[in-house]
Amino acid sequence: MVSGAAFLPEKLSRVSSYDALGNYALTPVGTAIAGPLASAFGSRAVLATGGALVVILPVLVLLVPEGRARPANDTWIAACTLSYGLPLATLNVKDFEDFTEHEGLNLIIR
């Protein structure tokens, strides 16, 4: 099975762009507030807090559960119906609910 990222390389590049922008934009902010924070709280406390954040924040991101993998065949079916603006008649509602919620797929259900 192929992951969703293989189908959407433009999404991955957009995420990388935002990540780089955030890193470059926030570096001067961090540099500007480091001195006043060190004066107010002490350099040891500021460095310890920064180090803790560098360790804790990525761990918190890893704790977020991943979504359910979309089967490749269902992805192709949903993509075709979405690209032509057609509703999808299916008895397999479970595999297409997330397309309805996130992509606007119109399901015909009995």
Distance CA 87, CA 107 (A): 6
Residue 22, domain extent: 12-63
Same-domain check for residues 78 and 99? yes
Q: Is residue 34 part of a domain?
A: yes
Neighbours of 43 (CB within 10 A): 12
- pLDDT for 5: 45
Q: Is residue 92 part of a domain?
A: yes
Q: Is residue 31 part of a domain?
A: yes
Same-domain check for residues 94 and 56? no
Q: What is the DSSP string of 22-43?
A: HHHHHHHHHHHHHHHHHHHH-H
Percentage of the chain with pLDDT > 70? 84
Residue 87: which of 55, 59, 96, 73 has the closest Cα?
96
Q: Is residue 1 part of a domain?
A: no
pLDDT tens-digit profile, the chain (110 residues):
444 444 455 566 667 777 788 788 888 888 899 999 999 999 999 999 999 998 998 888 888 777 667 788 898 999 999 999 999 999 988 889 888 888 899 999 87
Q: Is residue 81 part of a domain?
A: yes
Distance CA 43, CA 87 (A): 61
Total domains in the fold of the chain: 2
